[in-house]
A and B are shown apart, each in its own frame.
Chain A
């Protein structure tokens, strides 16, 4: 999916190698201030009356969307199976913490590891095909994980895992307190966000972008493309897994919804709506989708699916750059006019 991403690759990149001119004109600085302002806002969120559980949920999905976008936006691989990593890890963490009495930090680590292992398996099967085949294969594999979660003894079947206690982080910080939990979620989110930023701007990230833009060229230059793609896939899967694990601790439950393929569709929508291949797009997209669902659920009830579908169609037909992508394109046009 190179069409939307090529034109908007120069998102709010912090010192991105290919945009030195922008950094000197102060746009890079502006981006830095924007991020800083957002961070301050996020730190103050519980104090200014935002419902912490809602913001935490939003951050979990934002992390999920960022992980997905690492693959689609920066490597050009459309995975239609990311719900498998998100949901399966959610179960793993829930089961370990609830049934095995693991501490939350170990539970989160195990969730991320489970995502990575699952990602490796998916990757080994799917990497060999491209484009829509890749999408369909990941979708089919994730459906397999769905049925495993439905039937496996440890997942609680249709009921899911309920009443997962958050416990104490490192035996010290009581996560049962929403505010403490909130800062843990925020710290993990910011850490992962900066990590993704770092990965994408690293030489490794440059190779990924080259694969996205022109795979045969990358092969002819001697890069082991499949290995790079697999690594990106595993990285994305483990971050998606971490997001799922974190969501289990926040919401205190893991259910089949997390692992159903419609969740894979939802995360695609988040990225598409926010802006594929931009850094901040998936966060915005997750924010819009989660807020919409939250607001609409009691007002329009079952129409939510239809509304989500309509947004999907409109995005694909008229709005392929997404919110952040369109903003960047608009800024670009204004700058070139000057």
Chain B
């Protein structure tokens, strides 16, 4: 069976690959949206934090033989703590200034993180094995689906939904959202806003770290893995509209799939299709698909 002259197997395979990529776009742009929404900072270091997450998982396995499942917990925790430190040490000093300074500062931090790991581990990739429980593949009848990839998609969608629920539907989320509107007022109600901000950045960083651990068994763990991804994620964020959490998740998944399709039909364009879509969307809706007009 063929679809538009492409064998079904290849077609669905690329679709699945696109969905997996989309899951990473969604998780990373979600983290960016959370940090931007609440701190007004465009976190350029997000890609580097994602890379650090993958490396922490790899180091845990390589040095102490700690399993994937523990890494799934420990690496985001470590990256989250790193994030909280970054917020306390650096970003705290920039509130009230032009948000561009936050962008530039986190850009500098990204260079530092990337440089340190590059010095330590070189640019060649480190292999991280797929955990036993998720190795192998299932035959769905029409295609062979590697179990690990299915798990990544399911896990990241679950994380995205949980984050959305936390921010839009719980009391803590209400505090967060109120804190961005009027920090002084929320503080007057007895909420520790600075702590909340630190934890928010930490949580956003942890999300990036978690994405890194999930990615480790699929791609090679290298210091450069975050730096090119982050720009695609920025494009995703621009397309989705930066304010919207749901928007970033849906756009992320969607663009991953579009990218997968492009790889099937016109591979040369697969690297730039996201940027082309961005340009078109901006022409029609400058605020992005889910964004509110400023």
Contacts and interface: CB of A to CB of B under 8 A. Distances in A.
A127 to B, nearest CB: 10
27 contacts: A3-B97, A78-B103, A125-B279, A125-B283, A131-B98, A132-B42, A135-B42, A135-B100, A136-B42, A136-B237, A137-B278, A140-B231, A140-B238, A141-B278, A143-B231, A144-B275, A151-B271, A304-B115, A305-B112, A306-B115, A309-B112, A310-B108, A312-B105, A312-B111, A313-B109, A316-B101, A316-B108
Nearest to B276: A144
Interface of A: 1-3, 78, 80, 125-126, 128-129, 131-133, 135-137, 139-141, 143-144, 147-148, 150-151, 261-262, 265, 268, 272, 302-306, 308-313, 315-317, 320
Contacts of A141: 275, 278-279
B235 interface: yes
Contact of B118 (A133, A272, A302, A312): A302
Contacts of B235: 136, 140, 143
Contacts of A150: 271
A45 B190 CA distance: 65
Interface of B: 42, 90, 93-94, 97-101, 103-105, 107-112, 114-116, 118-119, 227-228, 231-232, 234-235, 237-238, 242, 268, 271-272, 274-276, 278-279, 282-283, 286
A80 B108 CA distance: 14
A305 B111 contact: yes
B275 A305 contact: no
Would you call the interface of chain A mostly helix, strand, loop, or mixed?
helix
A129 B90 contact: no
Nearest to A135: B103
Residue of A136, A151, A308 most packed against chain B (CB within 10 A): A136
Given A132-B103, A136-B238, A317-B105, A305 B118 contact: yes
B266 to A, nearest CB: 12
A23 to B, nearest CB: 31
Contact of A309 (B103, B108, B272, B275): B108
B119 to A, nearest CB: 5
A3 B238 CA distance: 25
